Amino acid sequence: MARHLITSAIPYINGIKHLGNLVGSQLPADLYARFQRARGNEVLFLCATDEHGTPAELAAAKAGKPVAEYCAEMHAVQSGIADGFRLSFDHFGRSSSEQNKALTQHFAGRLADAGLIREVSEKQVYSNTDGRFLPDRYIEGTCPNCGYDKARGDQCENCTKQLDPTDLIDPRSAISGSTDLEVRETKHLYLCQSQMKDQLEEWIDTREGWPILTTSIAKKWLTDGDGLQDRGITRDLAWGVPVKKGTEDWPGMEGKVFYVWFDAPIEYIAAAQEWVDAGKGTDWERWWRTDKGADDVRYTQFMGKDNVPFHTLSFPATILGSGEPWKLVDYIKSFNYLNYDGGQFSTSQGRGVFMDQALEILPADYWRWWLLSHAPESSDSEFTWENFQTSVNKDLADVLGNFVSRVTKFCRSKFSEAVPEGGAYGPREEALIETLSTRIRAYEAHMEAMDVRKSAGELRAIWVAGNEYLQDAAPWTTFKTDPEAAAMQIRLALNLIRLYAVLSAPFIPDASAQMMEAMQTEDDSWPDDVPAALQLLTPGHAFTVPDVTFRKISDEEREGWQEQFSGIRS
């Protein structure tokens, strides 16, 4: 039995995420976790909410709530939505946890002792009206390059020119609109990543089979320009992990917190501690400490391409720099972007389908199937309502759902609600079993390799094989002249429903559970032996005819949703 530690990118706390966020990390991670569990392997699947930083403070202020209260409420909301999409986290933690606070301060102390943290004096914009230093993105003004009047202090969204806040004409606070700004000197801590460049590059070179997208982004950061740069790990904020050196105060850092990109990845480890402290598991160290048994763990991370630099460089720098035997990631599965209907998803404009809205209009399996079968692996992909409708109607309703309905209803009408007896396999059945055996092994290989779209394509081909057999065998015709042969064909088809339920569970868990319930079996054993798997439901075994597994999406519905999700979200 193999052991798999799986983490997906930690979603930020300020608001509900769109479908692009879902398919970029959490959903494919869940697919992989479910598959590994189905194969009998031990899995620890962790995620959390990322709760620190300026955006959390501003979102809380906009909601008129204390930031801690706001984060607690939004964690509950995001956790509920994750449940709605059937994301099978073993624990969904919080980066604001006491476990993460202690662990972050511990790592900072270890890095400081190793000489990998330095103090830097720098100048930042301070808003007298807001009574705070402003991160670059919270300073707005007119771009000196193109004249756009809403350019941010880090970049102009109109002409894409990189900027410093002092470059802006008529700068103002994006929080209050105040122009009462001044440049003040402040001190911050920097992680000396540049000292670890060679060690990080050597470590990356030992990772086997990483996607080109992952390695190319990491190598780019290592070699472009002046190479890997030191990174600030503190901020002048009130909300976050207080800056300490282990359990000791850090002179000169009073009132400061660690930068969210320093403490958020550490939450992966802290989430395992929370999992144990919540009574859900035992011995978190055997997953994370190589001196406590984690040396035989396979650790896989799932994330969008924008998160890759932090997980290939900054977080490993923290782990390696600590000098302690922590488990490092073995494989990073990275994804490109999912765009929306001719443009981009926009959280600020509410353009596109957000996770809560998706669940309001259709069950989770509809979304899970489309997103995974169109996962943006080799390039960006695009959600269109026409494609979504076609995929649901053809793949789920016509191929899988129709197979289940036809087989169970025919058996009930011509035999009974029990697996019929009689008949023996012929060449047609042997050919089907051979085809299924080949395709199931290919499906397993794609799933092991985390080739999401190829896995979906192979699963659909497995469904299609059953439909083609049913069309070719035509038991409704066979029954007229050879009832025993028809009984054998339907018995095989009923066993196919159970087989489809097992194979499909990682993609569409609710439909899988419905099919298992209809077949009145709890035997979800993986089909290592395909011929044996197709004889598990024996003559006389009772079943029920399920409700419609998947319904079709009408043109009117598609048109309505397309209009509904094209504009500003209220």
Tens digit of each residue's pLDDT (9 = 90 or more) over 399-411: 999 999 999 999 9
Residue 143 annotated as lining a ligand binding site: yes
- Residue 138: the pLDDT is 85
Q: Convert the pLDDT of each residue in 474-508 to its tens digit.
A: 999 999 999 999 999 999 999 999 999 999 999 99
Beta bridge partners of 372: none
Please state, rounded to an integer, the average pLDDT across all residues of the chain: 94
Q: How confident is the model at residue 133 (pLDDT cuts 50, 70, 90)?
A: confident
CATH number of 3-115+261-335: 3.40.50.620
Confidence at residue 276, expressed as pLDDT on a 0 to 100 scale: 98
Report how far residue 455's alpha carbon sits from residue 557's, in angstroms, rounded to the nearest whole number.
29
In this predicted model, what pLDDT tens digit does every residue of 311-339 receive, in sequence order?
999 999 999 999 999 999 999 999 999 99
CATH architecture of 368-533: Orthogonal Bundle (1.10)
C-beta of residue 103 within 8 angstroms of C-beta of residue 270? yes
Give me the long-range contacts of 291-299 (CB less than 8 A, separation at least 24).
Answer: 291/325, 294/5, 294/327, 295/327, 296/3, 297/3, 297/4, 297/5, 297/327, 298/2, 298/3, 298/4, 298/5, 298/330, 298/331, 299/4, 299/5, 299/6, 299/7, 299/327, 299/328, 299/329, 299/330, 299/331
Are residues 237 and 121 in contact, defined by beta-carbon separation less than 8 angstroms?
Answer: no
408-426 tens-digit pLDDT: 999 999 999 999 999 999 9
Overall fold of domain 117-191: Methionyl-trna Synthetase; domain 2 (2.170.220)
Please give the Cα distance from 365 to 459 (Å, whole number): 15
CB environment 487-498: b (16+ within 10 A), e (fewer): bbbbbbbbbbbb
When pLDDT is averaged across residues 107-113 and rounded to a whole number, the result is 98
SS3 content of the chain, % helix, strand, coil (to 5): 50, 15, 35
Tell me: is residue 156 an annotated ligand-binding position.
Answer: yes
Band of residue 348 on the pLDDT scale cut at 50, 70, 90: low
pLDDT exceeds cutoff 80 at 249? yes
- Report the 10 Å Cβ neighbour count for 244: 18
Would you say 146 is a known binding-site residue? Answer: yes
Q: Yes or no: say if 395 and 553 are a contact pair by the CB < 8 Å rule.
A: no
Q: Is residue 226's pLDDT more than 80?
A: no
Contact between 218 and 329 under an 8 Å Cβ cutoff? The reply is no
> What's this model's pTM, rounded to 2 decimal places?
0.94
Identify whether the C-beta of residue 537 lies closer than 8 Å to the C-beta of residue 494. yes
User: For the chain, what are the domain ranges?
Assistant: 3-115+261-335, 117-191, 368-533
**For residue 530, what is the DSSP state?**
H
With a CB cutoff of 8 Å and minimum separation 6, the contacts of 354 are 16, 17, 18, 19, 569
> Binding site annotation covers 192?
no
Residue 41, helix vs strand vs coil: coil
What pLDDT does 570 receive? 45
* More confident of the two residues 284 and 57: 284
pLDDT tier for residue 566 given thresholds of 50, 70 and 90: confident
Q: Is 71 annotated as a binding residue?
A: no
Lowest mean pLDDT: which of 140-149, 344-353, 544-553?
A: 344-353
Tell me, what amino acid is at 120? V
Structure-model confidence comparison of residues 273 and 1, the more confident one: 273
pLDDT of residue 55: 85
